[in-house]
Amino acid sequence: MKKILTFGTFDIFHKGHEFYLSEAKKHGDKLYVVIARDSTVLKVKGKIPRNNQTKRMATVYEYEAVDEARIGEEGDKYKVLEDIKPDIICLGYDQTAFTDKLEEELKKRGINAKIKRITSHYPDKFKSSKL
């Protein structure tokens, strides 16, 4: 069974998020989604999300392609790699937070996962900052 891991804020869940998760799911059997903590969103984006982390997680978990959703770690953001041991990590087309050291962290933790970028789905229309 191939495990896929994705990350995101998913503040205003929209068609772009659905596309991202559906495309990620095509790469394996079980899709795990890590929802950014409110405090992490504030640090990365400079503002608190409209919907709190619990509501965002519940919304993502309801989406048919998602097998498991969880809120990200408070301290070590990469600890989830050890918990899930993914075969594939799918990143969004514009995702940059915590991706610069991802390959290094995988190697350090002895996890041999492939990293794939998911293409955009009408980014001028379906992007949380535009909605």
Q: What is the pLDDT of residues 24-79, one digit of tens each?
A: 999 999 999 999 999 999 999 999 999 999 999 999 999 999 999 999 999 999 99
Architecture of domain 3-125: 3-Layer(aba) Sandwich (3.40)
Map out the domains of the chain as residue ranges: 3-125
Grade residue 131 by pLDDT with cuts at 50, 70 and 90.
very low
DSSP 115-131: EEEPPPS-TTTS-GGG-
Q: How far, in Å, CA of 102 to CA of 92, rounded?
A: 14
* Cβ neighbours, 10 Å, residue 24: 24
Per-residue model confidence (pLDDT) at position 124: 55
Whole-Å CA distances, 25 to 45, 91, 115: 26, 12, 14
| Contact by Cβ (8 Å): 59, 86 | no
Grade residue 121 by pLDDT with cuts at 50, 70 and 90.
low
Q: How far, in Å, CA of 114 to CA of 86, rounded?
A: 9
Handedness of CA 13, 75, 54, 29 (dihedral sign): positive
Q: How far, in Å, CA of 45 to CA of 29, rounded?
A: 31
- Return the bridge partners of 35, or none: 8, 71
- Tokens 């770690």 correspond to 73
Q: What is the pTM of this model?
A: 0.89
